């Protein structure tokens, strides 16, 4: 998992291995055959593998052992979990989400690529000179971080960082309101003193 700077936090799902299948992170790594280079593809290709991949998968479909079939089923399940996880972040993050999910892929024994990890970035920077807006924003970030059914360790870290910013903004807001109240109190006292002095002089 990777945590980017506070102004652009990423929610990550850890890449995952199913049985004896090759490398879990599909970025600049060789696949289990040691030939193809892995690529991180955007979500638009999620359910539309390329033609070569479909051809390889179809030709290998009937050649799989029982163990390999089980591995494929695990990969399919993992893909569904990861996609649901990242979509939960996006739905809760609203306008603060930056771009779509980025997925990591893994080649299965059937020759197809399956999603095994992913991340979503969200703007978690405080709103300058506006603690009230910062509080509202951090509340949204926290909800987005904890939106999946099973938040990852990275998600909890994001929520914790946002909570720190939220607490800081709350302190700033209390301090600001305290100063305004104190200033108003002094103005009232001065007005009362002026009125009293004027009455005394008239008497």
Distance CA 42, CA 65 (A): 31
In the structure, what pLDDT confidence band is assigned to residue 53 with cuts at 50, 70 and 90? low
Answer whether residue 39 shows pLDDT above 60.
no
- The residue written with tokens 């300058």 in the block is 128
Query: How is residue 61 written in tokens?
Result: 């479909």
Answer whether residue 102 shows pLDDT above 90.
yes
Per residue in 2-24, pLDDT (tens digit) is: 223 335 566 665 444 443 323 33
Phi-psi domain of 34 (left: phi exceeds 0; alpha: psi -120 through 50; beta: other): left
Distance CA 40, CA 130 (A): 38
Query: What is the 8-class DSSP label of residue 154?
Result: H
Main-chain phi, psi angles of 12, to 5 degrees: -120, 145
Answer whether residue 29 shows pLDDT above 50.
no
Distance CA 165, CA 7 (A): 11
Whether the Cβ atoms of residue 102 and residue 44 lie closer than 8 Å to each other? no
In the structure, what pLDDT confidence band is assigned to residue 113 with cuts at 50, 70 and 90? very high
Indicate yes or no: pTM above 0.85. no
Taking alpha carbons only, the member of 18, 145, 134 closest to residue 77 is 18
Domain boundaries, the chain: 9-174
In the structure, what pLDDT confidence band is assigned to residue 66 with cuts at 50, 70 and 90? very high
Answer whether residue 88 shows pLDDT above 60.
yes
Query: What is the 8-class DSSP label of residue 38?
Result: P
């Amino acid at each position: 998992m990777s945590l980017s700077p506070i102004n652009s936090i990423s929610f990550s799902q850890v890449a995952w291995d199913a049985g004896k299948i090759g490398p879990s992170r599909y970025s600049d790594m060789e696949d289990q055959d040691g030939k193809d280079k892995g690529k991180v593809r955007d979500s638009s290709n999620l359910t539309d593998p390329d033609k070569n991949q479909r051809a390889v998968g179809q030709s290998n479909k009937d050649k799989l052992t029982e163990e390999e079939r089980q591995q494929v089923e695990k990969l399919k399940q993992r893909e569904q979990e990861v996609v649901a996880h990242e979509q939960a972040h996006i739905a809760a993050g609203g306008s603060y989400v930056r771009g779509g999910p980025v997925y990591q892929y893994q080649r299965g024994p059937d020759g197809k690529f399956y999603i095994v990890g992913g991340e979503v970035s969200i703007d978690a920077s405080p709103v300058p000179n506006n603690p009230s807006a910062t509080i509202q924003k951090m509340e949204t970030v926290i909800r987005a971080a904890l939106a999946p059914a099973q938040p990852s360790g990275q998600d909890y870290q994001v929520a914790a960082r946002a909570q720190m910013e939220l607490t800081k903004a709350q302190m700033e807001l209390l301090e600001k309101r305290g100063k305004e109240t104190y200033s108003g109190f002094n103005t009232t006292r001065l007005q009362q003193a002026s009125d009293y002095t004027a009455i005394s002089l008239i008497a």
